[in-house]
Chain A
Amino acid sequence: MSALDVATIKRDFPILKREVNGRRLVYLDSASSAQKPLVVLDAMDDAYRNHYANIHRGVYTIAEEATAAFEDARRKVARFINAPRTDEIVFTRNATESINLVAYSWARANLHAGDAIVLSHMEHHANVVPWQILAAERGVELRWIPMTPDFRLDLTNLDALLDGARLLAISAMSNVLGTINDIRPLADAAHAHGALVLVDACQFVPHVATDVQQWDADFIAFSSHKILGPTGIGALWARLELLEAMPPFLGGGEMIRDVRLDGFTTNDVPWKFEAGTPAIVEAVGFGAAIDYISALGMDAVRAHELLVTRYALDSLRDRFGDSLTIYGPTDVDRRGGAVSFLFDGIHAHDISQVLDEDAVCVRAGHHCAKPLMRQLGVPATTRASFYVYNDEADVDALMEALAKAQKFFAV
């Protein structure tokens, strides 16, 4: 028995009613971006139709309504990750911008040549390239936590890696392997060495109940579009003292308190980091998405995904055996619902093309994790990923489509 009533949930998502090539859409690419429930679309539509104005400026009714809705969304985001304070949530465009904000603001104010940042081999490009740019500019050293053969962080030399480090920037859940990294012990180790901790929680937050206080992290980045919300908005959570001490990132309207010809003073946190007109209606949609998934219950969401992921791993193994290699932990309790695999020597693009004939949507490629793909020694994998609207029937559709691909490309 699933913890979720998937048949009902499917009906909440308008796009799942459409067909592709005359077939029911089987969407297995939520790790890339999730589909949107009607309540999110309606909330955004209502915001545009009835409450739309710029925020924090107008003194008229609809401007006040828009401002209240925007700030209410911030409260929802804060509560969703158990942040101690609402003003610790900075709205950004996405997780990528959240990480860049830390790299441009905190890191450029605090790191110098010879300082070290510790990353891991399983990071998304979003948590690699901003640090490489900084390293090239400042002479900061990048160190890498390697991976074990069973796709987990190899923490054997963690203390040596953290020695002299100023920041540990690490993913809570790999978008390729599904691996869940246990953040608390990593944060404890980093703090013991005087390093701060940034968690790329982009894959974790949508799928597992998140508690930033339990993690004891310093910065957390995630995106709305992977949590059933709209694109164009994401969040950075950071401890208030850090945000207050950090210089602004982008300059412009909203982020200032006062501007004179000879300079400016900054607005309070978090608005100090929200220059220009933000994604107002997207914030409302983000809040509505959090309401929707919170009503399902994050424990039920996780329980359901464990069920579907276990079913998928078992089905893949039973049906295709040695012709299929899964890149990721086999122990479902310590992984998420992203399942990457190599299939019978068939290139991921070809698989994904054949699957599309049956309206099965999977991701093919390097998943923005090229350093990891190099470690795995594969140019591309096929990835199926699951969310609240997926069930065993979707996994079965994947199996049938894979069998078809195998037949099609048989040598």
Chain B
Amino acid sequence: MAGLEDLYREIILDHYRSPRNRGELPVPPAHKVEGFNPLCGDEVVLYLDVDPETDTVHDVKIAGQGCSISQASTSMMSAAVKGKPLSEVRQLIRAFKALMSIHESKLEGDGDDGSDLAAELAGVRLGDLEALQGVVKFPVRIKCATLAWNTLQQALDETAQTQA
């Protein structure tokens, strides 16, 4: 039986109580995306400023409201991607979803891709984010943890479109 301490690790409560990178960025140059979890009303607002010269996350700010898991995950995500090249950010998204037991490539029925993904992700360092692993034992809360990352994905896609 999974206990509360599996879900609410100290580092998660710390990010929940003192979220990192809270605030806003001027739009543009930053890109603003809002993510909602319609089931529970969790809301994530993400300001992502990508430097087109270096293709790195120049700055990131977050706002919104929701449960401890969604807000801690958002805070941890912001800390993890700040200053990172976009290629690394994309890998991080995939690695995080894999941590949440979400294997999108497998859903597409591409047999080989699963092992490629494993190889690719073997090198990704999740650091503090691994504290969110306990969420997998509480299936209804997975959506809370992934909200920030889906919002980040959307911000990356939209940024790529505007820059293309």
- List the interface of chain A (C-beta within 8 A of B): 21, 346-350, 353-354, 357, 364-366, 370, 373, 379-380, 408-409, 411
Contact = CB atoms under 8 A, between A and B. Distances in A.
A373 B68 contact: no
B68 A347 contact: yes
B43 A379 contact: yes
Contact of A365 (B3, B41, B43): B41
Interface string B1-38: 10110011000010001000000000000000000000
B65 interface: yes
10 contacts: A346-B68, A347-B68, A350-B67, A364-B40, A365-B41, A366-B41, A379-B40, A379-B41, A380-B41, A408-B8
B41 A350 contact: no
B40 A353 contact: no
Interface of B: 1, 3-4, 7-8, 13, 17, 39-43, 65-69, 138, 141, 144
Contacts of B8: 408
Contacts of A364: 40
Given A348-B40, A370-B41, 17 more contacts: A21-B1, A347-B66, A347-B68, A349-B69, A349-B144, A350-B69, A353-B4, A353-B7, A357-B3, A364-B40, A366-B41, A379-B41, A379-B43, A379-B66, A380-B41, A409-B68, A411-B17
Given A408-B8, A411-B17, A353 B138 contact: yes
A373 B69 CA distance: 21
A34 B157 CA distance: 45
Nearest to A351: B67
A369 to B, nearest CB: 11
B139 to A, nearest CB: 12
A348 B67 CA distance: 7
Contacts of A354: 4
A409 B138 CA distance: 18
Contact of B68 (A350, A357, A370, A379): A350
Contact of B4 (A347, A366, A379, A408): A408
Nearest to A22: B1
A379 B4 CA distance: 24
B40 A349 contact: yes
Contact of A379 (B7, B13, B42, B138): B42
A408 B141 CA distance: 18
A93 B67 CA distance: 34
B65 to A, nearest CB: 6
A236 to B, nearest CB: 28
